[in-house]
Structure 1
Amino acid sequence: MRNKAVLSDLHLVKEGVLSHGLDTTERLRAGVAAINARHADADFCVLAGDLADLGDAEAYERLKDCLADLSVPLHITIGNHDNRDTFLEVFGAEYAADTGCVDKVIDAKGQRVILLDSAVTGQHGGRLEPVQLNWLSTRLAEAHDVPVTVILHHHANPLRTKVDRIILENGPEFVAVLKTHDQIRQVIAGHVHYTSTAMWQGVPFTTLAGGHYNVTIPLGPDADPVRLDGPAQMAVVLSDDQQTLVHFDNYLDASVVLQAGA
């Protein structure tokens, strides 16, 4: 059963502008075409933040235009490159939950998916506010007997690379809430521009590389400079009573090697 496709880190910009030498609008159009061609039986698609590179209205209007061709239902949350107020002005106030953030619950085929807005205005690291953690606790409690997948922009578990400088700052509080539910199947994030999997405090965490550039994984002390290259990637999540499985679909092949700041 294919339940959902997850796209992240789209980094759309104004018309005529490139981001790190990439035409991010065309990359998103390729992602939409790939979903329509290969994953059209998905229950829905999730956008997991960093929709616009600079959070401007023109980029969000371009996003709406690209998404008009998507053949499956769509759900959205935002990331650190986004501007919450501008996003809500363009997409509509109904995208905000009672928390005031772009949080959402999706129930489909006996499972629950929870989207969380981890963006903090003016900073690249993330945070879930107390009202969001309380909201999450309630949403988990009311679905105590069904599998749950959580999707947000920022990674919560330490990856032991330089991206931990911009991690979800209250990850321990977040995972403590998650552990009140005994069927957290996956916590899926973007943000770091590379793929990872982990089991942290008994909860499974995954990151996808996303639609923008990928980064090399700087595990060693001599890892600089970070190289920007790689394919555009979505996660395809298959979930049933027995398991939740995350595949990675590189819908664009590797680009030329780019230099940071290009």
Structure 2
Amino acid sequence: MKFIHITDPHIVPIPQTLCALDPRARLAAAISDINQHHSGADCVVVTGDLAYLGEPTAYKNLRNILSELAVPYHLLVGNHDDRQNFIQAFPETPQDYNGFIQYVIETEVGAFVMMDTMEAEAPQGVYCDQRFEWLEQQLQIFATRPVYLFLHHPPFDIGIGSLDKSRLPSAERLAKLIAAHGNVRHIFYGHVHRPVWGSWNGVPTSALPGTNHQVGLTLGGSPEMLGTHERPAYGVVLIKEDCINVHLRDFIDTSPRFPLLNTASKHAATPRDLPLPSAELAGI
């Protein structure tokens, strides 16, 4: 199976910009790249902070942009979102019996469990008793199948103090639930605006850059969050029975493409001296 992971588009209403960038144009560029190179993907999952301030017009803009996708998409909410405005714009998105944006996508490789970690008007992640009850039920339903968790806030520290203070606080309870299930293969999360790979209590985890702005790698306890214009990316996730690979795709990269093992490539003095790759690979 192949799916695309996008996170933190932070859409704002036209004609606003955000951090001196246009998040609408950035997301549209990502979608164009997905359509060109990964139209055979099974789906796209966007792990929250869909809008920056959660305005109805921002979600309307988001829906218009996502309508260009050649593959189905599934959405989660993050701390920048407004749950009510989101549902008004995307009424087809499933909700659990308490109105949280939580649902399961059954796939050929297992269950994609979408978790709602948003708390209104708070940057911190929250996972309340009601949400835990729903999650426990889903893990019981899919007790014999692989499970992949998708959420906005990580339930662990990543080493950047300004982000760690807003992580999901109910980590121990979640860890025990995951351990009891025993078949959670991967946790995909957003929020951190950085490429981060690791594991949590033995479960592999991954996060990606946002499609607009990023958070600088300021390791340590500094309370100040550093914004950067590091390059955006999305993830191309390949899942097989024996492995999971997450490839990072820089969708605004325009650097030269060339046949790497070609003798002329090895001896090129400047980019203009590089030979062209085959037509099949020239647009990658």
Contact 1:126 1:154 in 2 (8 A): yes
Distance 2:64 2:156 in 1: 34
Distance 2:110 2:221 in 1: 42
RMSD, aligned α-carbons? 1.8
Q: TM-score, normalised by structure 1?
A: 0.91
Distance 2:189 2:109 in 1: 22
Structure 2 stretches of 5 or more lacking a match? 255-284
Distance 2:126 2:252 in 1: 31
Match of 2:131 in 1: 132
Give yes or no for the alignment of 1:91 onto 2:90: yes
Match of 2:11 in 1: 12
Contact 2:95 2:102 in 1 (8 A): yes
Contact 1:88 1:96 in 2 (8 A): no
Match of 1:187 in 2: 187
Letter in 1 for 2:131: Q
Q: How many residues align?
A: 253
Aligned to 1:122, what secondary structure does the other structure show? coil
Q: TM-score, normalised by structure 2?
A: 0.84
Distance 2:89 2:158 in 1: 34
Letter in 1 for 2:30: G
Letter in 2 for 1:235: G
Aligned to 1:151, what secondary structure does the other structure show? strand
How far does residue 94 in structure 1 lie from its aligned partner after superposition? 4.8
- CA distance 1:224–1:76, change in 2 (3 Å): closer
Letter in 1 for 2:188: I
Structure 1 stretches of 5 or more lacking a match? 255-262
Alignment of 1:30-179 (within 5 A): 30-92=29-91, 94-162=93-161, 163-179=163-179
How far does residue 95 in structure 1 lie from its aligned partner after superposition? 3.0
- CA distance 1:139–1:220, change in 2 (3 Å): closer
How far does residue 97 in structure 1 lie from its aligned partner after superposition? 2.0
- CA distance 1:225–1:69, change in 2 (3 Å): closer
Contact 1:80 1:119 in 2 (8 A): yes
How far does residue 169 in structure 1 lie from its aligned partner after superposition? 1.6
Runs of 4+ in structure 1 off by over 6 angstroms are 221-225
Contact 2:213 2:227 in 1 (8 A): no
List per-residue Cα deviations over 1:76-114 (Å, max 9, x = no partner): 110000000111112116532223111110011141111
Larger of the two Rg values belongs to structure: 2
Aligned to 1:107, what secondary structure does the other structure show? strand
Structure number with higher strand proportion: 1
- CA distance 1:58–1:221, change in 2 (3 Å): closer
Aligned to 2:199, what secondary structure does the other structure show? strand
- CA distance 1:173–1:225, change in 2 (3 Å): closer
List per-residue Cα deviations over 1:147-197 (Å, max 9, x = no partner): 111111111111121210111121221222111222211101110111112
Match of 2:211 in 1: 211
Distance 1:123 1:130 in 2: 18
Match of 1:237 in 2: 237
Distance 1:227 1:58 in 2: 25
Identity of aligned residues (%): 28
Distance 1:7 1:43 in 2: 14
Distance 1:77 1:117 in 2: 7
Aligned to 2:155, what secondary structure does the other structure show? coil
